[in-house]
Copies of this chain bind each other. A is one copy, B any other.
Amino acid sequence: MATRQKTSRKAAATAAAIRRARTANGRAHNSDAGDDIGLDALIGHAGYAVRRFQLWIFQDFIKTLATVDIRPTQYSVMTVIGANPGLSQMAVAKRLGIERARLVHLLDSLEERDFVSRIPSATDRRSHALHLTARGKTALAQFKRLAAEHERHVAEKIGKDNREQLLQILACFT
């Protein structure tokens, strides 16, 4: 085991410990599968199901768009800017529910890759008008094709109808 084991390995095993160890391994005589372990109250918790689902869906998105090296948040930023050129950073941050502090770094990387440009606003010298570059526009078109492919993966995973129901149920959050 590890170096800083808290309880000595040689410590006497209590009868309770033995009993429980039996319970744990004996339940289906196959603890490797990780199955047959009850979740108890976790079943019926929307948060848990949603967390697991989001993990899966983000991993698939990242994998599907790995060739273009675009992550979900970057994609959402470019999509909103593409659909609403000239938005300020505040407006984009509010719309997507991300912090403006975080958006700074996101835009930095997108600007470095020449996908987005910050143009000083003519009406408010504090703010930037965000635009896609020409390169950004063609790139986004490709991203959307890959994202659509990812969306098909989702439909395969949970079912076409279920996916649409999901979108409808969660529409109030978009």
- Give the B-binding residues of A (Cβ under 8 A): 1, 6-9, 11, 13-14, 16-25, 27, 31, 34, 37-58, 61, 72, 76, 79-80, 82-88, 91, 94-95, 97, 118-126, 129, 131, 144, 147, 150-151, 154, 157-159, 162-163, 165-167, 169-174
Chain B residue, CB-CB nearest to A60: B47
Please, which residues of chain B bring their CB within 8 A of the CB of A150?
47
In the complex, chain B residues whose CB is within 8 Å of the CB of A24: 84-88, 91, 129
- Measured between C-beta atoms, what is the minimum distance from A119 to chain B in Å? 5
How many copies of the polypeptide does the oligomer hold? 2
Given contacts A46-B163, A86-B24, A120-B11, contact A129 B17 (CB under 8 A): yes
A94 to B11, CA, bound (A): 27
In the bound assembly, the distance between CA atoms of A71 and B86 in angstroms comes to 39
Q: A24-B91, A45-B151, A46-B163 are in contact. Are A83 and B40 (CB under 8 A)?
A: yes
Q: In the complex, A43 Cα to B84 Cα: how many Å?
A: 14
**Contact assessment for B20 and A86 in the assembled complex, using a CB-CB cutoff below 8 Å:** yes
Cβ contacts A to B, 13 pairs, < 8 Å: A7-B118, A17-B122, A22-B86, A34-B95, A40-B80, A47-B57, A49-B166, A49-B173, A49-B174, A50-B170, A52-B173, A52-B174, A165-B169
Who on chain B is nearest to A154 by CB? B46
- From B9, B11, B42, B94, give the contact of A80 (CB < 8 A): B42
The answer to whether A158 touches B169, judged by C-beta atoms less than 8 angstroms apart, is yes
Query: Which of B14, B53, B55, B158 is the one whose CB lies under 8 Å from A119?
Result: B14
Residue of A11, A27, A34, A72 most packed against chain B (CB within 10 A): A34
CB distance from A160 to the nearest CB of B (A): 12
